[in-house]
Amino acid sequence: MACFRYTHWIGLDWITSDLKPSRQCAQASQKAMSVLGMIKRNFRRITVHDFKILYNSYVRPHLEYCIQAWYPYLVSDISSLEQVQRRATKLVQGLKNRPYQERLKILGLYSLEQRRLRGDLIEMYKILTGKENIDYTQFFTLAPPHHNTRGHSLRLYVSTLQKYCQTQTEVFQSEGGQRLEWSSSVSRGCFIRQLVQESA
């Protein structure tokens, strides 16, 4: 299988001819693991405060740089990236033997998959409410006005499933089981705060 390398414009190092991001995910994980190893060798004791500075500044950027261009969708690729954060959270003093989700809660972090979904939801909200200079009709089709939209008009029509869907907020509800209500009159800040509260 042919493999092409691009390094200058979009932050995408490796892409195969079938457009799967597996090689890129492996490269990103390897770079992040190398930095994580350096941190482990040079810091004997890492507090929660220290971890947030080190991880957010030196490790996570390798896992998320230009993620929109190589968004992982295979389970193996998602696990490969998540494994880096799993190992990183074990470096914090007193957290090594705690479950992963509990470590995330103590550190005030999301899983990487949740962060990607959260970013998608916020961007979707900004596009549909006119806060981005993007014509949403190029990508989405709104439901007909006669359909019951429960107080707002930002319900998207999903033709492949032959049903109506309330934007990607319904995706977040189905993934995490939380209820998330919003309307076109809600500000971006309020939407993000509600998203954080529901996912906490």
> Between 53 and 1, whose confidence is greater?
53
Residue-level pLDDT at 147: 55
For residue 14, pLDDT beyond 80 = no
Assign 134 to helix, strand or coil: coil
- First CA to last CA across the chain, in angstroms? 43
Overall pTM surpassing 0.85 (yes/no):
no
For residue 49, pLDDT beyond 90 = yes
pLDDT of 77-132, one tens digit each? 999 999 999 999 999 999 999 999 999 999 999 999 988 888 888 888 888 888 88
Interval 26-46 mean pLDDT: 92
Residue-level pLDDT at 177: 41
Question: Whole-angstrom Cα distance, residue 59 to residue 89?
Answer: 11
75-89 helix and 100-107 helix, angle to the nearest 10 degrees: 60
**Chain mean position to CA 28:** 15
Residue-level pLDDT at 130: 83
Question: Whole-angstrom Cα distance, residue 69 to residue 40?
Answer: 30
Residue-level pLDDT at 54: 94
Pairing of strands 163-165, 156-158: antiparallel
Residue-level pLDDT at 69: 77
For residue 134, pLDDT beyond 90 = no
Residue-level pLDDT at 7: 46
CB 51 within 8 A of CB 91: yes
pLDDT band at 181 (very low <50, low <70, confident <90, very high): very low
All structural domains of the chain with their residue ranges: 3-109, 117-199
Residue-level pLDDT at 200: 57
Interval 35-41 mean pLDDT: 93
Which two three-digit tokens encode residue 194?
Answer: 């509600």
Length of the chain: 200
Buried b (16+ CB within 10 A) or exposed e, 141-152: ebbeeeeebeee
Query: 142 pairs with which residues across the strands?
Result: 156
